[in-house]
């Protein structure tokens, strides 16, 4: 399989008014980011996607796809004082249902207890791997996309809860230790595996002989079954 992609990104900022001492409270800033990408896959037996949370990709659905890397985001930062700040970030990219409905990625309140210790509550980026908070902002990473083998397998990028972060130094190394607690919701099967909504109205499907439950409605014979009983979708 060969995969090619291009993803230019842009950002815009609105600087807040400044007081005589250089800082005005409340202080706010608005920024935006976006990537337009086109990916190509030469294999038609499956789709290449950058995340299991996407509906389609390059390959089986279309040999060229703009859905793998394209996204648009906006972020509002608000600083209430030296200790208290808030952020909200919304991102529009292809979802597991095929739509580009914007979702709230971040929405949290942060309290800076000391220069090294901070507390946050709300919707927070999961601290998984080094690029957790910048994985969707294309111009901040050195690749077209974060490594799919690592980040593509994560079904969620944030959780609703609380976290604490402590920065400390050991020799020449700067370290950050984070402890978090929260929850998120995705559709999963009994084993906890994400269930992608791959079947759509009008699809012809293959299923096992004894799958599902037959019933009759308004004189019409129907068959009800779980999506994971479907073996495949016929083109």
68-72, 112-116, 160-164, 209-213: least confidently modelled range: 209-213
Residue 117's pLDDT band, with cuts at 50, 70 and 90, is very high
pLDDT tens for 51-67 read 877 888 898 889 999 99
Task: Provide the whole-model pTM.
Answer: 0.69
Helix (H, G, I), strand (E, B) or coil at 159: strand
- Cα separation, 12 vs 14, in Å, equals 7
Q: Residue 40 CA to chain centroid, in angstroms?
A: 21
Beta-bridge partner residues of 10 = 34
**Judging by beta carbons within 10 Å of its beta carbon (0-12, 13-18, 19+), is residue 188 exposed, middle or buried?**
exposed
């Amino acid at each position: 399989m060969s995969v090619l992609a291009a993803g230019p990104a842009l950002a815009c900022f609105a600087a807040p008014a400044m007081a005589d001492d250089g800082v005005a409270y409340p202080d706010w800033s608005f920024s935006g980011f976006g990537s337009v990408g086109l990916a190509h896959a030469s294999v038609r037996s499956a789709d290449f996607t950058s995340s299991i949370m996407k509906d389609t990709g390059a390959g089986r659905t279309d040999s060229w796809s703009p859905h793998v890397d394209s996204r648009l985001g906006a972020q509002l930062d608000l600083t209430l004082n030296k200790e208290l700040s808030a952020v909200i970030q919304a991102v529009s990219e292809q979802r597991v249902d095929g739509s580009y409905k914007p979702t709230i990625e971040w929405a949290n309140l942060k309290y800076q207890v000391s220069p090294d210790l901070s507390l946050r509550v709300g919707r927070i980026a999961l601290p998984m791997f080094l690029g957790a908070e910048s994985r969707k902002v294309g111009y901040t990473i050195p690749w077209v996309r974060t490594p799919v083998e690592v980040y593509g397998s994560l079904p969620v990028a944030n959780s609703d809860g609380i976290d604490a972060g402590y920065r400390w130094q050991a020799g020449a190394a700067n370290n950050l230790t984070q402890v978090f607690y929260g929850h998120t919701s995705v559709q999963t099967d009994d084993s906890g595996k994400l269930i992608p909504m791959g079947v759509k109205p009008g699809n012809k499907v293959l299923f096992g002989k004894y799958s599902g439950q037959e019933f009759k409605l308004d004189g019409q014979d129907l068959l009800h079954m779980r999506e994971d009983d479907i073996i495949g979708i016929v083109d």
